[in-house]
Amino acid sequence: MKILVLGGDGYLGWPTALHLSQAGHDVAVLDNFHRRQYDFELGVESLTPIDTLQGRVEAWREVSGHQLGMYIGDLTDADFTYHVIRDFGPDAVVHFAEQRAAPYSMIDRKHAVYTQVNNVVGNLNLMYAIAEIDPSIHLVKLGTMGEYGTPNIDIEEGWLEVEHKGRKDRMLYPKKPGSFYHLSKVHDSHNIEFACRIWGLAATDLNQGVVYGQQTAETMLDERLLTRLDYDAVFGTVLNRFVIQAVLGQPLTVYGNGSQTRGMIDIRDTVRCIQLACENPAERGEFRVFNQITEWMSVQQIAETVERCFPGEVTLEHLENPRVEQEDHYYKVTHTSLLELGLQPHLLSDTLISSLFDVVKQYAHRVRPEALRPTVTWRNPGLDKS
């Protein structure tokens, strides 16, 4: 297949592109380098050193013998988006190219507006380009489990069968997002479902949990192929923060009482899920939703897992939660579709033992400890930084 990976310079886009290329697909990556610009804005960078995209692409050619196509530009530029779809002619488009951090979207008005414009408009341009140039292209869109929030009923895979006053219907599962970032993903999902229903597009919406891990079989082949490991309080995941704090001998900073529950997935499983979605496409007119997680844990359980797996002393520190979210809540997720397609999941403790601690120890000298503390609060709209 010809597969275009949008956001192909990012944490997940880069290893996904390598995985698909190694699987024998003809792959091109597209990026606008905004993720690298966020590092300059926030004054913190990936724990792992990241080569230029051009250097990465050349390294992959040297190591694997496979070529990667490369496009530099922005999806909010409709002319550019149309050009890429026409020029590469993909069978599938994997869409990672969005601002992905909830805290970043909650800094102030400027960051909230940027997040929604960048994400929603870019996705709309992509939908129109596919519809007008080749409606048979399969759109594989990265959503988030955060679209659902924490409902007091089981979370189904995108759709819900409802009986109301004696009548039944099938509708999109109700959404209760927790940030302007998560709201942008909800808008994307509704827009894509509309395009499938009205225009006959084919799309798979992957509502992904928190991704952990830094290594895949492909990125481990050469240091120039490394992907990001973000640990700061804006872009870093809770697990990355805990692992780094353990290695540095700092307390693990648990927000609130730690009972907030999250769906989770290993990065090795993420790239495999994308491959399964691409190789088993949705039908024309179908808006297909997969809940892309393999397990779920509370924040406290994640901290306790790090404490149990780390070969040293670990302490926990509970901080006032900077987010507005339910701490004690019901959480049960249906996530069978990818397993039925052949996903064989990894478990959290396996990843910690095999890779994360070693990676952090190797690059611990690059940590900025002050970046681990939360600086963005949901309770205050914040001063406009423009």
- Tell me, yes or no, whether 133 lies in a domain: yes
Q: What is the pLDDT of residue 386?
A: 46
Band (383; pLDDT cuts 50, 70, 90)? low
When divided into structural domains, the chain yields a total of 1
Q: What is the three-class DSSP state of 19?
A: helix
> In the 8-state DSSP scheme, what is residue 257?
T
pLDDT digits (tens, 9 = 90+) for 176-201: 999 999 999 999 999 999 999 999 99
Helices 299-309 and 238-248: angle between axes, nearest 10 degrees = 40
- Tell me, yes or no, whether 257 lies in a domain: yes
- Tell me, yes or no, whether 221 lies in a domain: yes
pLDDT digits (tens, 9 = 90+) for 324-339: 999 999 999 999 999 9
- Tell me how far apart the alpha carbons of residues 214 and 32 are, in angstroms, rounded to a whole number: 22
Distance of CA 202 to the CA centre of its chain: 21
CATH classification at residue 263:
3.40.50.720
- Tell me, yes or no, whether 386 lies in a domain: no
- Tell me, yes or no, whether 378 lies in a domain: no
Range of the domain at 112: 2-372
- As a whole number, the mean pLDDT across the chain is 96
- Tell me, yes or no, whether 385 lies in a domain: no
- Tell me, yes or no, whether 180 lies in a domain: yes
Catalytic residues: 144, 181, 185
- Tell me, yes or no, whether 343 lies in a domain: yes
How far is CA 145 from each of CA 74, 80, 228, 292, 315, rounded to the nearest angstrom?
25, 30, 21, 8, 29
Are the beta carbons of 48 and 359 closer than 8 angstroms? Answer: yes
For residue 384, is pLDDT > 90? Answer: no
Please give the model's pTM, rounded to 2 decimal places.
Answer: 0.97
- Tell me how far apart the alpha carbons of residues 327 and 323 are, in angstroms, rounded to a whole number: 10
DSSP sequence for 21-84:
HHTT-EEEEEE--HHHHHHHHHT---SS----HHHHHHHHHHHHS--EEEEE--TT-HHHHHHH
For residues 135-155, average pLDDT = 98
For residue 260, is pLDDT > 70? Answer: yes
Are the beta carbons of 385 and 376 closer than 8 angstroms? Answer: no
pLDDT digits (tens, 9 = 90+) for 39-94: 999 999 999 999 999 999 999 999 999 999 999 999 999 999 999 999 999 999 99
Please give the single-letter amino acid code of residue 273: C
